[in-house]
Amino acid sequence: MLNKYARAFFTRVLTPFAALLLRLGVSPDAVTLIGTAGVMAGALVFFPMGEFFWGTIVITIFVFSDLVDGNMARQAGISSRWGAFLDSTLDRVADGAIFAGFVLWYAGSGDDNVLCAVAIFCLASGQVVSYTKARGESIGLPVAVNGLVERAERLVISLVAAGLAGLHKFGVPGIDILLPIALWIVAAGSLVTLVQRVVTVRRESAEADAAAAASAAADRGSEATQ
């Protein structure tokens, strides 16, 4: 849901920056790789230490590379299947690193097995939600559904909550509860989204199979009358 509006807004805002990087000779693929490395560093270095505020700041800076690299490719007229593949693949890596950072915190100093399990579910369900759409499209289905909690929602909910929860170390009382709440919301929303996509793929596949069967029957009828 957020993808539709937020992506268009930030694409316009970041267009001049993308143009500057092109003039400096930076390639879109380099931006993709650097952005993913920055997100992973922010998540896997800061989050396991409980430094959620600074970790979120680092991740937020680098996560915008997901918009910059595509913008650069379009401006330069070099959009390619490889670039799209690399971008989508590394998006999954970055998303996994963010939730892995939460897992490491709750498995270690955070000392909460339940929230560790919830974070693991968020990590796994996020990957599966993305896979269901990719797999459905790979077998020729449109997978025409806007899920309740897609990638943008997962990132915004988790990172905003983590950043605010990190203010607990600056003396803001009680605010650290926001991260557990956010993880439960993302887990529940991801489950709903997964069900939405599975149901959609089942319906679309049944419709496609029925249409194919009807077309085959019509062809056989046409051959029989000849």
Per-residue pLDDT of the chain (226 residues; tens, 9 = 90+): 445 556 677 778 888 988 999 999 999 999 999 999 999 999 999 999 999 999 999 999 998 887 898 889 888 888 888 988 999 999 999 999 999 999 999 999 999 999 999 999 999 999 999 999 999 999 999 999 888 998 889 999 999 999 999 999 999 999 999 999 999 999 999 999 999 999 999 999 999 999 988 888 877 777 666 6
Put simply, whether the predicted model's pTM sits higher than 0.85 gets the answer: yes
- Of the residues 91, 95, 111, 112, only one is catalytic, namely 91
Q: Which residues are annotated as a binding site for a CDP-1,2-diacyl-sn-glycerol?
A: 29-32, 70, 74, 80
95 an active-site residue? no
Q: Please report, in range form, the residues annotated as the binding site for Mg(2+).
A: 66, 69, 87, 91
The full 3-state SS of the chain, as one line of letters, equals: CHHHHHHHHHHHHHHHHHHHHHHCCCCHHHHHHHHHHHHHHHHHHHHHHCCHHHHHHHHHHHHCHHHHHHHHHHHHCCCCHHHHHHHHHHHHHHHHHHHHHHHHHHHCCCCCHHHHHHHHHHHHHHHHHHHHHHHHHHCCCCCCCCCCCCHHHHHHHHHHHHHHHHHHHHCCCCHHHHHHHHHHHHHHHHHHHHHHHHHHHHHHHHHHHHHHHHHHHHHHHHHHCC
- Annotated binding-site positions: 29-32, 66, 69-70, 74, 80, 87, 91
